[in-house]
Structure 1
């Protein structure tokens, strides 16, 4: 018996004509959410050491005018992988709170992997809160807002392959401005990222999620020269940059120490 069925059976009410259908729907939804969390946990545990605690909010940002994720749960996992840290969204693939039978939310989660998190923002094993003071968390948090506002980006990724995204206002950021080197910043105060490529050295397609498959989408910080290359060349330049990063051994890892591949 798979874990989703076990959880679903645990939440189901005893068969009765008096059981309100809405309660059963809520129980099914909660079972699917728990099964989704368990699936993500299994996957990330195969990649590195997963912190038990997540980076989360006291009050969901959706209650304060922030972007709506599929559920009110908006959190970020911390995975320790050798000298690198992976910060990954947790909740973009939750089943929708208010729409039953629509699959695993946006059917995607984002993640960024980097070895370059300052000591003051890198908590020891068992402590995750310091990561909120890192450029990597601020980066993925802002990109998650954009992705949630768009209702997910899986269709765009399927159509175009890797996508690129610009984040303006570098100098106004909290932690990015003080931690990211200047050669990642354009003259007009922006930084850029690739979404969906280059591919990492671990699987990113989770076929065993309870309601529908989910894709883990890498977020890769690119230099100012690489962003300008994409600005000038569009989709063809973006695809070429992905190939260059892969060939150079940079891959999906966001290293603040690397030089441009152009």
Structure 2
């Protein structure tokens, strides 16, 4: 909640010089200390999480544990999500894995009447995660060492900096994005084939299309509908095609991915469709 963030920020301004306080002077907070607005926010957040649980478990088998942080990145200078909860969900679906953001659609901390956060969550689906980064059922931690998690985490930071993408996606239908510095990445540079990196060290993706074979709109969120936005890895040739042709080329690429049977799934062993 917002007051937790204020408390943390006041303590981290100069942590090396923060004097120890007697135990009786240390404040503690409980549910009864929350304002009515904060209690309502908490209830809306819990309802949002349950709606996401229902939706993802209808798509596949959603792991109970998420990939998260001991301390929210927003406390450490990272981009703000709607709440301090910044996590990633793992959904097992046949022989593929879905990694999805968890928290972008949380109600905003300390604000009312703004809907379900960014009104979106990002996800990527693939069956091409290396064995050492492929956690067994019940174990999500190995996925941190996968190219898919690194890509999704990087994109999520950019989306948070932009305050969400839902209005632009509604306008254009899809967007493309480039991640710079492929050669300096932790896992992508080791796990992605060479034809997914451009001559100028970029990795490309299409966001919002092609649509998957399951519903991507969640209407039963407590405040406003939420869109699940797919992220599809594209080859270097496909990225250059978009660079040259703009929106028309992107629309054509989406159609070609559908026609080729690739769809929204990120496949590492496929050839370019352009």
* Same fold? TM cut 0.5: yes
Shift of 1:199: 0.2
- Partner of residue 84 from structure 2, selected from 68, 72, 79: 72
Give the structure 2 partner of residue 204 of structure 1.
216
The SS at the match of 2:35 is: helix
1:245 aligns with 2:231: no
Give the structure 2 partner of residue 127 of structure 1.
139
1:29 aligns with 2:44: no
Report the Cα distance in structure 1 between the residues aligned to 2:260 and 2:71, rounded to whole angstroms: 42
Give the structure 1 partner of residue 240 of structure 2.
228
The SS at the match of 1:164 is: strand
The SS at the match of 2:91 is: strand
Output aligned runs, 1:82-121, within 5 Å. Answer: 82-121=94-133
- Partner of residue 219 from structure 1, selected from 227, 231, 234: 231
Q: Residue deviations 1:83-128, cap 9 Å, x none?
A: 1000000000000002112110000000000000000000100000
Consecutive unaligned residues in structure 2, runs of 5 or more: 1-30
The SS at the match of 2:203 is: strand
Output aligned runs, 1:141-220, within 5 Å. Answer: 141-220=153-232
Give the structure 1 partner of residue 148 of structure 2.
136
How many residues in Structure 1 have an aligned counterpart in Structure 2?
Answer: 244
Maintained 8 Å contact 2:38/2:110: no
Give the structure 2 partner of residue 5 of structure 1.
none
Report the Cα distance in structure 2 between the residues aligned to 1:132 and 1:150, rounded to whole angstroms: 24
Q: TM-score, normalised by structure 1?
A: 0.92
Consecutive unaligned residues in structure 1, runs of 5 or more: 1-12, 14-18
The SS at the match of 2:121 is: strand
How big is the alpha-carbon RMSD for the aligned residues of Structure 1 and Structure 2? 1.2
Report the Cα distance in structure 2 between the residues aligned to 1:247 and 1:207, rounded to whole angstroms: 29
Report the Cα distance in structure 2 between the residues aligned to 1:111 and 1:93, rounded to whole angstroms: 13
Q: Residue deviations 1:1-30, cap 9 Å, x none?
A: xxxxxxxxxxxx9xxxxx99x711011000
Give the ranges of 4+ consecutive aligned residues of structure 1 lying more than 3 Å apart after TM superposition.
none
- Partner of residue 51 from structure 1, selected from 57, 60, 63: 63
Report the Cα distance in structure 2 between the residues aligned to 1:101 and 1:199, rounded to whole angstroms: 30
Report the Cα distance in structure 2 between the residues aligned to 1:81 and 1:259, rounded to whole angstroms: 24
Shift of 1:191: 0.6
Report the Cα distance in structure 2 between the residues aligned to 1:65 and 1:83, rounded to whole angstroms: 37
Report the Cα distance in structure 2 between the residues aligned to 1:213 and 1:183, rounded to whole angstroms: 37
Give the structure 1 partner of residue 27 of structure 2.
none
